[in-house]
Amino acid sequence: MVRVPVPARLDARHAPGRHPGSGPNPRAGADHAASLAGYGAHSAVDRILVHRREGPRCRDRAPRCRIAGHPLRRRDDRSRRHTPGGAAMTARSRGTAEDVDLLEGLWRRWARAGRDAPASVWERPGLGVWSVKELYAHVSRGATTTLDLTGRATDGAPGIPDGAGYFGLLMAKGVRPDEGVAELAKEWAARNSVTSLAEAFDSAAVPVLEAARRRPDRLLPTIAGTMRTLDYLVTRVVEATVHLLDFDAVVADAPTPPEEALTRTAVVLADLVAPDDFIRSATGRGPAVFPVLR
């Protein structure tokens, strides 16, 4: 049997290079912390390994068994739940400079899609109650809205910690494409030509992306609450990626999202679900958690 090494706790109370209550651990310390950075300090892998090592000792002191502040709960403790966009997943769904680059590439693809698609496709069914043009208008309007929010940026502490938190709050408020958002897209499509909708991506890209690179921590007043510019751009990456898949499904030879955007979107969507519930649902053990976003 291959024994899986167990990482040291990411806790300042324990010296680097040692497991609590054990001998030296060659995998711990700076090298180990760096290896975890790619997964986020609160990944499901970390939680499982720490549960495996500390589970028996945590039964009577669950509130004190934490990974960087995330409580480890007993199997029967249903009061400790993962909160979408909460502290448990902030590291993974927070925006970075790479998200700015991703959004730039995605908006370029959307602009090209509008210029290259034949006139015959725009009135076809697109997504749900939307035609192809209305689907396109929805994403284009998102770029225009981002430009408007950038012009109203302020300083201070964000009310929403990350991209997953934004979507979690919208779902809690009942904001869904088949309700008010759908009507706005229809109105926007009726008021604008395809050419102007495509140009909106180019018009928004330069000032929005420049502002995000220059002052990434400025707060934007979104419909869900205030959040850092970089974190809001994460939500635009998700929207642009998901809907580009929708567009590609109904328009032949349309641009497709790059692999990096697909991976980024998958991470944010996964952060909308408690890791243990996600694993159980993905492996057919329940509860059913999909869809996590509509």
What is the domain-level CATH number for residue 129? 1.20.120.450
Are residue 129 and residue 191 in the same domain, yes or no?
A: yes
pLDDT digits (tens, 9 = 90+) for 149-192: 999 999 999 999 999 999 999 888 876 645 678 899 999 999 99
Are residue 178 and residue 38 in the same domain, yes or no?
A: no
Are residue 99 and residue 165 in the same domain, yes or no?
A: yes
Q: Which of 51, 80, 109 is the last residue of a domain?
A: 80
pTM of the model: 0.71
Are residue 54 and residue 126 in the same domain, yes or no?
A: no
Average pLDDT for residues 47-67, to the nearest whole number? 35
pLDDT digits (tens, 9 = 90+) for 197-217: 999 999 999 999 999 999 999
pLDDT at 122 over 70: yes
**Distance, CA of 227 to CA of 241 (rounded, Å):** 21
Domain with 234, as residue range(s), is 90-270
- The domain total for the chain is 2
Are residue 104 and residue 53 in the same domain, yes or no?
A: no
3-state secondary structure of 109: helix
pLDDT of 200 reads 97
Structural tokens at position 179: 């309700």
pLDDT of 37 reads 37
Q: Which of 36, 55, 80 is the last residue of a domain?
A: 80
